[in-house]
């Protein structure tokens, strides 16, 4: 009965490859988010969807493309991976954009 789940938990890949991370929530929330946490543990929002509509799109390279097939799922596709993309990526969800957010377990991406 996991609330927010992500797959995979770990992802090791080479520069130039394309990869995807998937997120699902079973909380009935309308809003989902992608965050990036760098090596200094700073957590920064990348994207947010509300009911499948993109509402937040921070200054992120266009190699990153989110997709929300329905309000319970939010995926992140990354093209042409670079060394600097190595980080932990967290998915989160909230009832609406103004309510408290709950985080998934994270995906540790390592680009070699």
Partner 1 sequence: QKEVEQNSGPLSVPEGAIASLNCTYSDRGSQSFFWYRQYSGKSPELIMFIYSNGDKEDGRFTAQLNKASQYVSLLIRDSQPSDSATYLCAVRLGGAQKLVFGQGTRLTINP
Shorter beta-carbon distance to partner 1: residue 56 or 72? 56
Torsion, Cα of 89, 21, 108, 64 (10° steps): -50
Residue of 5, 13, 19, 45 that binds partner 1 (CB under 8 A)? 45
101 binds partner 1 (CB under 8 A): yes
Q: Which helix (H) or strand (E) holds 34?
A: strand 31-37
Residue of 10, 28, 40, 70 that binds partner 1 (CB under 8 A)? 40
- CA distances in angstroms from 64 to 1, 48, 82, listed in the order given: 29, 13, 11
- CA distances in angstroms from 1 to 4, 5, 26, 29, listed in the order given: 9, 10, 8, 15
63 binds partner 1 (CB under 8 A): no
Residue of 10, 41, 62, 69 that binds partner 1 (CB under 8 A)? 41
Residue of 11, 25, 29, 48 that binds partner 1 (CB under 8 A)? 48
Shorter beta-carbon distance to partner 1: residue 14 or 41? 41
Residues that bind partner 1 (CB under 8 A): 40-45, 48, 50, 55-56, 58, 90, 97-98, 100-106
């Amino acid at each position: 009965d996991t609330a927010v789940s992500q797959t995979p938990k770990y992802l090791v890949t080479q520069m130039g490859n394309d990869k995807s991370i998937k997120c699902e929530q079973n909380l009935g929330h309308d809003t989902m988010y992608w965050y990036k946490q760098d090596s200094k543990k700073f957590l920064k929002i990348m994207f947010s969807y509300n009911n499948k509509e993109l509402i937040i799109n921070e200054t992120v390279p266009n190699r990153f493309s989110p997709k929300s097939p329905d309000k319970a799922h939010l995926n992140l596709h990354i093209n042409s991976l670079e060394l600097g993309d190595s980080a932990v990526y967290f998915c989160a969800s909230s009832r609406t954009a103004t309510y408290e957010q709950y985080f998934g377990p994270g995906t540790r991406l390592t680009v070699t």
